[in-house]
């Protein structure tokens, strides 16, 4: 069986997966397949079909025309045949040696069925000279994380910003075949949908995983896109939703995933209110800030008698300070977002990979002949 499936959902014809696929295929020794999932009405570049027909390990899976992002991701997962599965968007970048790392985990930590890592967040619309620094962790070890701590971080919003700190799931993370099959056996959502399926997968992975492992070395780069508020199918009496902002979208996902499992949502606390305030304060336009703040305040007043509403006191800041430091700070090397002229996630990762510890070194490969701290 193939060691790793890299799923790439292509939602529209404007999304071009070919550059990412081409870069991944340069690593001819890596044991992975590429699964491209697309709606039936979306055409792919002929080169991708040629590569698949020419023997490249590429699978093209079709979903019904006009399908939701949520369903498209599920179709990609259903088509994957690897022992481990991950998912990235076409404009993202992922480490082609990831298959080596998951194989290493199978040997050293057979109970681990969910792997996460640091992922670079790259804004392709950032302006040179006016962008925040990007942090490269100085460490690169793999360690196991306490599942209870991660459950609290996600479902109880502990130490969150406008969304919970949660690297686990399917998106820019990897899960073992046994866990994937278990999650796909859960009933597919029929009565609700979400524009942020990464949080649906994160919730389910956290709830059903046996053991969690985290690699400090970045293994991918995300092409960050601004969250666009939209209110898809949401027929239940729950006031927080994706039509308000990202914090509402995450709460909505948590509510529905737990409801489907027969468990009530219990994320309503002061940490959650703080996340709502941060979500408002991310807005630099006063009108957008006001509209989002009013919507969240109305939702808080509606929720459980409004007992959390008095804690909601966001402040408007038209200009957000950017961290433009350089050098080693708090265990991370801060570098220019546009290092070597990198314009997007792929170019940034390709450049910075030269500064990162080789995956073979982390996994104690024969090429390097030594071990490092690992789970």
For the cut 50, the answer to whether the pLDDT of residue 370 exceeds it is no
Distance of CA 372 to the CA centre of its chain: 26
Q: How many CA atoms lie within 13 A of 359 on its CB side?
A: 19
End-to-end CA distance of the chain: 24
User: What are phi and psi for residue 111, nearest 5 degrees?
Assistant: -85, -15
Starting at the edge strand that comes first in sequence, how are the strands of the sheet with 134-137 ordered?
134-137, 332-335, 327-329
CA distance 13 to 15: 5
| Average pLDDT of the residues in 130-153 | 95
Q: What is the pLDDT of residues 202-220, one digit of tens each?
A: 999 999 999 999 999 999 9
**pLDDT band at residue 375 under the 50/70/90 scheme:** very low
pLDDT for 318: 85
Q: What is the pLDDT of residues 76-99, one digit of tens each?
A: 999 999 999 999 999 999 999 999
| Average pLDDT of the residues in 34-42 | 97
Share of the chain above pLDDT 90, in %: 86
For the cut 90, the answer to whether the pLDDT of residue 323 exceeds it is no
For the cut 70, the answer to whether the pLDDT of residue 368 exceeds it is no
User: What are phi and psi for residue 219, nearest 5 degrees?
Assistant: -120, 5
Share of the chain above pLDDT 70, in %: 97
pLDDT for 231: 86
Q: How far is CA 113 from CA 27, 99, 179, 268, in A?
A: 25, 14, 6, 29
| Average pLDDT of the residues in 184-202 | 94
| Average pLDDT of the residues in 110-136 | 95
Q: How many CA atoms lie within 13 A of 204 on its CB side?
A: 25
| Average pLDDT of the residues in 293-297 | 98
**pLDDT band at residue 232 under the 50/70/90 scheme:** confident
Q: What is the pLDDT of residues 52-72, one digit of tens each?
A: 888 889 999 999 998 999 999
For the cut 70, the answer to whether the pLDDT of residue 35 exceeds it is yes
Task: Read off the tokens for 142.
Answer: 């793999």
Q: What is the pLDDT of residues 236-261, one digit of tens each?
A: 889 999 999 999 999 999 999 999 99
For the cut 60, the answer to whether the pLDDT of residue 296 exceeds it is yes
Q: Write down the mean pLDDT value for the chain.
A: 94
Least confident of 78-87, 193-202, 233-242, 347-356: 233-242
Task: Read off the tokens for 130.
Answer: 């006016």
**pLDDT band at residue 365 under the 50/70/90 scheme:** very low
41 CB-near residues (< 8 Å, 6+ apart): 65, 66
**Rg, C-alpha atoms of the chain:** 21
pLDDT for 374: 38
pLDDT for 366: 36
pLDDT for 369: 35
CA distance 355 to 358: 9
Residue ranges of domains in the chain, CATH in brackets:
4-156+165-228+325-362 (3.90.550.10)
| Average pLDDT of the residues in 302-307 | 96
DSSP for residue 171:
B
Q: What is the pLDDT of residues 325-347, one digit of tens each?
A: 999 999 999 999 999 999 999 99
| Average pLDDT of the residues in 112-117 | 98
């Amino acid at each position: 069986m193939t060691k790793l499936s890299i799923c790439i959902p292509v939602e529209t014809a404007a999304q071009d997966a070919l550059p990412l696929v081409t870069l991944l295929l340069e690593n001819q020794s890596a044991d992975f397949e590429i699964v491209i999932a697309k709606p039936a009405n979306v055409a792919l570049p002929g080169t991708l079909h040629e590569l698949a027909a020419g023997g490249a390990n590429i699978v093209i899976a079709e979903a019904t025309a006009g399908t939701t992002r949520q369903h498209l991701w599920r179709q990609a997962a259903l088509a994957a045949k690897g022992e481990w599965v991950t998912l990235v968007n076409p404009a993202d970048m992922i480490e082609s040696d990831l298959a080596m790392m998951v194989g290493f985990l199978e040997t050293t930590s057979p109970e681990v069925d969910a792997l996460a890592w640091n992922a670079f967040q790259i804004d392709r619309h950032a302006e040179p000279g006016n962008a925040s620094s990007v942090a490269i962790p100085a460490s690169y070890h793999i360690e196991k994380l306490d599942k209870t701590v991660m459950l609290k971080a996600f479902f109880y919003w502990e130490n969150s910003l406008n969304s919970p700190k949660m690297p686990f799931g399917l998106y820019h993370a990897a899960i073992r075949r046994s866990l994937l099959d278990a999650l796909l056996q859960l009933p597919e959502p029929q009565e609700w949908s979400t524009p942020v399926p990464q949080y649906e997968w994160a919730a389910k992975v956290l709830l059903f995983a046996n053991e969690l492992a985290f690699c400090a070395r970045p293994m991918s780069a995300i092409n960050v896109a601004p969250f666009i508020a939209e209110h898809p199918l949401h027929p239940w009496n729950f006031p927080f939703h994706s039509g308000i902002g990202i914090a509402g979208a995450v709460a909505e996902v948590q509510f529905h995933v737990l409801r489907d499992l027969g468990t009530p949502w219990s994320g309503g606390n002061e940490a959650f209110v703080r996340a709502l305030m941060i979500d408002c304060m991310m807005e630099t336009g006063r009108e957008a800030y006001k509209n989002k703040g009013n919507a969240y305040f109305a939702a808080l007043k509606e929720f459980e008698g409004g007992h959390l509403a008095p804690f909601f006191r966001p402040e408007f800041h038209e200009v957000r300070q950017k961290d433009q430091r350089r050098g080693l700070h708090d265990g991370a090397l801060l570098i220019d977002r546009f290092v070597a002229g990198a314009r997007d996630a792929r170019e940034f990762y390709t450049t910075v990979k030269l500064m990162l510890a080789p995956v073979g070194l982390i996994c104690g490969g024969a090429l390097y002949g030594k071990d490092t701290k690992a789970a």
